């Protein structure tokens, strides 16, 4: 059996190691893909650090990684659309196709979905197998590095475009990769003014680079007050919450105009204490929970924007590291001194 390099989490507790494992054999409905770039996600760090979520969702040993671009090198017998040589990425929500959600056009929130790279072996490896139904064929003219980040970019796009934003003011709280992608999408989609907040100066400077008009560090400035001042006391039309911080959500809602819209993209590590009457009810606010992408309408929108070079996302891809330096990638994520990190097998 031929071998490949992969980042494997073998034991509970912090850590993962680079080791040689068997190259997987694709099942009937799967393709074998040679990974070209794989992008690091917060979820990979959750698995690496073995947080409570990872403990109850991931079976060991496990290969990390789920955002990628690669080349198809072998296909299973029942595959009909994908060919050897295709450059592909993947939707990470492996939907069942038969539940109520799947049968009503909502595969992205399938009731019994499996997650690629979480419930199946991941892409921090030289090869990965993926079921054909979640493969996405990339056109030749999108840069490979952009192809590798379409999955998180799609989440940001859904958050921003849950409603029309042209001519509207937008506040993005949290400037990790998803928040930064959200700023780039908002800029390309005609937002009138974009405010961005984060507690890390490094991330605020990236936010400016990708199109934020004003950046606010809540450690130094009251976020709600500053935003209200910028908007002449009206507040913002749209809040895109990407930080998962209860404080940021509260400040963002305080800064939301009456009749405004909220997209909740970030995941919260705890329960939140909010005063709903003044912050939501009397504002007649519309709140959207953003869970992944729409399959596959989000992918088509992302493709259009990338193919026509409408998104300024190059500054967000801050690092490119070999598999051997995976540990360094995890430290960068912990420090928050990175945007998206690409891993090259």
Contacts 24+ apart (CB under 8 A), 109-114: 109/291, 109/292
CB of 100 to Zn ion, least distance (A): 8
Residue closer to Zn ion by CB (options 253, 290) is 290
Query: Which of helix, strand or coil describes residue 44?
Result: helix
Looking at 43, 92, 129, 257, which residue is catalytic? 43
Least gap, CB of 99 to Zn ion (angstroms): 3
The closest alpha carbon to 92, from 52, 60, 72, 65, belongs to 65
* Minimum separation from the CB atom of position 102 to Zn ion (A): 3
318-332: b (≥16 Cβ within 10 Å) or e: bbebebebbeebbeb
Closer Cβ to Zn ion, 45 or 203, answer by number:
45
Q: Which is nearer to Zn ion, 223 or 323 (CB)?
A: 323
Q: Detail the DSSP E strand segments found in the chain.
A: 3-9, 17-22, 30-39, 62-63, 67-75, 87-90, 93-94, 114-115, 127-131, 135-137, 169-173, 193-197, 214-216, 236-241, 256-264, 286-289, 317-322, 340-344
Among positive and negative, which fits the CA dihedral 332, 334, 339, 342? Answer: positive
Give the nearer residue to Zn ion in terms of CB position, either 94 or 172.
94
The distance between the two most distant Cα atoms of the chain, rounded to a whole number of Å, is: 67
Which residues of this protein are in contact with Zn ion, per CB under 5 A? 41, 43, 95-96, 99, 102, 110
- Nearest distance from residue 110's CB to Zn ion, in Å? 3
When CB distances to Zn ion are compared, the closest residue is 41
In the residue annotation, 232 being an active-site residue is answered as: no
| Beta carbon nearer to Zn ion, 72 or 178 | 178
User: Could you count the other beta carbons within 10 Å of the beta carbon of residue 275?
Assistant: 11
Give me 233's structure tokens.
């006391």
Gap between the Cα atoms of 217 and 204, Å rounded: 8
Q: Find the shortest distance in angstroms from Cβ 268 to Zn ion.
A: 17
Closest CA to 16 of 25, 4, 6: 6
Kind of pairing between the strands at 256-264 and 236-241 = parallel
Give per-residue burial for 125-156: e unless 16+ CB within 10 Å, then b.
Answer: bbbbbbbbebbbebeeebeebbbbbbbbbbbb
Catalytic residue, chosen from 45, 46, 62, 146, is: 46
- Which tokens go with 260? 């405004």
CB atoms within 10 A of CB 190: 11
Q: Which is nearer to Zn ion, 187 or 340 (CB)?
A: 340
Q: Closest approach of Cβ 162 to Zn ion, in Å?
A: 19
Q: Would residue 104 show up in a list of annotated catalytic residues for this protein?
A: no
Query: Which one, 49 or 217, has the nearer CB to Zn ion?
Result: 49
What minimum distance in Å lies between the beta carbon of 39 and Zn ion? Answer: 8
Residues acting as catalytic residues = 43, 46
């Amino acid at each position: 059996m031929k071998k490949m390099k992969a980042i494997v989490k073998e034991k509970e507790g912090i850590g993962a190691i680079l080791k040689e494992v068997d190259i997987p054999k694709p099942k009937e409905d799967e393709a074998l893909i040679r990974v070209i770039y794989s992008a690091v996600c917060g979820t990979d760090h959750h698995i690496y650090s073995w947080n409570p979520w990872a403990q109850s969702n991931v079976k060991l040993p496990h290969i990390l990684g789920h955002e990628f671009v690669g080349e198809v090198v072998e296909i299973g017998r029942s595959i009909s659309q994908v060919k050897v040589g295709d450059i592909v990425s993947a939707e990470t929500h492996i939907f069942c196709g038969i539940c109520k959600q799947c049968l009503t056009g909502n595969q992205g929130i399938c009731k019994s979905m499996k997650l690629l790279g979480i419930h199946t072996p991941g892409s921090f490896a030289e090869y990965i197998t993926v079921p054909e139904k979640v493969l996405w064929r990339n056109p030749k003219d999108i840069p490979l590095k952009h192809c590798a980040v379409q999955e998180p970019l799609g989440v940001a796009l859904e958050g921003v475009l849950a409603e029309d934003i042209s001519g509207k003011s937008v506040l993005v709280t949290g400037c990790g990769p998803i928040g930064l992608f959200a700023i780039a999408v908002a800029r390309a989609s005609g937002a009138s003014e974009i405010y961005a907040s984060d507690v890390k100066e490094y991330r605020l400077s990236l936010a400016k680079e990708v199109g934020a008009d004003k950046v606010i560090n809540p450690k130094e400035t009251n976020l709600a007050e500053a935003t209200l001042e910028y908007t002449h006391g009206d507040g913002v039309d749209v809040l895109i919450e990407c930080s998962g911080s209860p404080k940021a959500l509260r400040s963002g809602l305080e800064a939301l105009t009456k009749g405004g819209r909220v997209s909740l993209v970030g995941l919260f590590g705890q329960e939140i204490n909010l005063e709903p009457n003044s912050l939501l009810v009397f504002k007649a606010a519309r709140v959207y929970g953003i869970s992944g992408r729409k399959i596959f309408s989000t992918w088509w929108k992302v493709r259009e924007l990338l193919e026509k070079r409408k998104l300024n996302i190059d500054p967000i891809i801050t690092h490119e590291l070999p598999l051997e330096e995976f540990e360094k990638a995890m430290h960068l994520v912990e420090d928050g001194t990175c945007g998206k990190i690409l891993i090259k097998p």
